Every structure is written in structure tokens, then in C-alpha cells.
Amino acid sequence: MTTPKKTTTPKPAAPDTAAAPAAPAVVEAPRPVILGPVMRKKELIDTVVERSGVKKRDAKPVVDAMLAVLGEALSDSRELNLLPFGKLKVINEKELKNGKMIRVKVRQVAQGQGGGDTADQPDD
């Protein structure tokens, strides 16, 4: 009568925490943006009038001039830093038959974060 041979299976080695690489960091993927309604110039002027308390006839030329200045600056590929609106940077542009297409990246600072515009603060 023969006795069966005992076979031993090798035990897995204990994980060496010092030599193990760190787990990769999880990065959130960009979220899709759900577009809201389009804001037209008339609505912008009405909102400016409501918030500032100035008359519409006084606000309209200011808003028109501001939009013209912003448009010219973007067409010249200038970077705009207009807090709290955000920081605008021209990524690329393409000449079309009826105008120019400009891709712009806008970075907004979270509310309550630093980086406020010091031009609005009074001098001491």
C-alpha cells in the first residue's frame, strides 16, 4: 500500500507595502454642460438697468461700447482678465467668408476665492 504524496502549494507572498507602487489618482472626467437659454443684448441691457438702477437710455450706450471694446480685444487675440466674469484667452481663430471664428477659453474663479479686482477698492 502506498501513501499518497503530499503536495504543497506555495503561499502567495505577503504584499510588501514599501515596494508597492502608489495607487493611481482618480481624475474626474469633464462633465457635459447643459446649455441654458441664450442671453441677447436686450436682456443684458435690461438686467444691467435693473441691477444698477440707472436709466435705460444711460445704460444702453455703455453696454454697446463695452461689447465693442471686448469684441475688438478678442479679435486682436488679447487675453482679458475681467473678474468676476473670468479670464478669457483666445485658443485659436479661423478666417471665414463672412467673418472670423474665435475659440475662447474662459476660466472662472470659484465664488469666495481670492483674486479679486483691486481696481474697485478705495485707496487708503
What would the pLDDT profile of 61-108 be if each residue is shown by its tens digit? 999 999 999 999 998 999 999 988 899 999 999 999 998 899 999 998
- Say what the pLDDT of residue 16 is: 57
What span, in angstroms and rounded, lies between the C-alpha atoms of 80 and 77?
9
Where is pLDDT greater, at 31 or 20?
A: 31
Question: What does the DSSP 8-state code read for residue 87?
Answer: E
- Say what the pLDDT of residue 22 is: 72
pLDDT in tens, 19-28: 666 777 777 8
- Whole-prediction pTM value? 0.60
* β strands within 3-117, DSSP E: 80-82, 86-96, 99-107
What span, in angstroms and rounded, lies between the C-alpha atoms of 104 and 100?
12
